[in-house]
Amino acid sequence: MQNKAMTLEQYRELITVERCFCGAPFDDNLSHYDHNGGWHVVGFAAPQWLYLECRLGHQWAYWKAERASIANELRRLERDIEEVKL
């Protein structure tokens, strides 16, 4: 959970994963609902549970998409380092 409130759009921009495990693309918008264990979102009094939904209806909790995005970035950085070594 983040301590600093951001907009839904700002949270969405942090996610670089484009496709669900099923292969379908994710919708552009984050879905959300009130949840005590959620994130602070500008414009909402209660913390929000954030999740992505693919076009086939599968849902990914925001924290899972965030971790997958970080893993993608690490793989990209590793490739860049390997290219520099060559």
How far apart (Å, rounded) are the C-alpha atoms in residues 65 and 62?
Answer: 5
Q: What is the pTM of this model?
A: 0.80
How far apart (Å, rounded) are the C-alpha atoms in residues 56 and 69?
Answer: 20
Q: How does DSSP classify residue 53?
A: E
Residue 3: pLDDT band with limits 50, 70, 90: low
Higher pLDDT, 27 or 46: 46
Higher pLDDT, 2 or 26: 26
pLDDT higher than 90, residue 75: no
